[in-house]
Amino acid sequence: MACGKPAVNQTPSIEAGLVNTNHLNLLYTPVTFSTGTNAAGIYIYCEAPDYHLVEAAGEGFACVDDVARAAQVYLRSSNFSADTAMQTKAFNLLRFILEMQSDNGYFYNFVFTSGLINKAGITSINNPNWWSWRALQTLTEAAPLIKNMDVQLFSDIDAAINKLVAQIKIDLVNLPQATKTVNGITVPEWLPAGSGTDQAALLILGLIPYCSSTGDAVMTDYIRKLADGIALMQAGDSTQYPYACFLSWENTWHAYGNIQAYALMRAGAFLNDPQYTTKAMAEIDNFYPWLLLNGFKSSFSIAKNGNTYQTLTDKDYEQIAYGISPMVFAAIEAYKMNGQDKYADLAGQLAAWLLGANDAAINMYDISTGRCYDGIISANSVNYNAGAESTIEALLALQNVENNPAVKTALDKYKK
Looking at residue 10, its pLDDT comes to 39
What is the tens place of the pLDDT at every residue in 197-216? 999 999 999 999 999 999 99
Report, as ranges of residue numbers, the positions in the chain whose pLDDT lies below 70.
1-16
Looking at residue 205, its pLDDT comes to 99
What is the tens place of the pLDDT at every residue in 9-35? 433 334 459 999 999 999 999 999 999
CA-CA distances (angstroms) from residue 297 to 164, 201, 216, 314?
Answer: 34, 20, 39, 8
pTM of the model: 0.95
